[in-house]
Amino acid sequence: MKHIIYKGNSLERIKELEDNSIHLTITSPPYFNAKDYHKEDVNIGNNINYLDYLDKIETLLKDIYIKTVEGGYICWNTSPVIDNGKRYGIPFDTHQLFIKLGFEFLEDIVRVPDNRTEKGLVAFASICSSCK
């Protein structure tokens, strides 16, 4: 079996993959504007607003779905964040996108770090399967 690493903008590079060729996606995408990504245009972590972020995630998820084999898996690590004093429930909103696009929810994993130096970060991994 041959393994290839595609480096670059996932929103673009995923188009180079064959349809129905992904068996497993594991990713920790940017959590909205939680980090400073130095204004890189293509960075999913640079957004005008929250809906802009969700649009990018949906665009990527649509392509992931098309490229995923029937019954393939996706494991999506994310977390609620606070931006400009407002809290955003990213795991709940992205979960809606999975279901809308045709993924089936299998499992959630909630990680609460022992050492809460990351401002009480609670990470959620949502594991879904594609059904076509």
Ligand X SMILES: C[S@@+](CC[C@H](N)C(=O)[O-])C[C@H]1O[C@@H](n2cnc3c(N)ncnc32)[C@H](O)[C@@H]1O
Binding site for ligand X (CB under 6 A): 9-11, 28-30, 37, 42-45
- Least distance (Å) from ligand X to the CB of residue 43? 4
Cβ of 104: how many Cβ atoms within 10 Å? 11
- Least distance (Å) from ligand X to the CB of residue 69? 22
- Least distance (Å) from ligand X to the CB of residue 71? 25
Cβ nearer to ligand X, comparing 11 with 121: 11
Rounded distance between C-alpha atoms, residue 1 and residue 37, angstroms? 35
One-letter-per-residue 3-state SS of 36-92: CCCCCCCCCCCCCCHHHHHHHHHHHHHHHHHHEEEEEEEEEEECCEEECCEEECHHH
- Least distance (Å) from ligand X to the CB of residue 5? 12
Cβ nearer to ligand X, comparing 66 with 125: 125
Cβ nearer to ligand X, comparing 24 with 42: 42
Q: Give the tokens for residue 83.
A: 């931006």
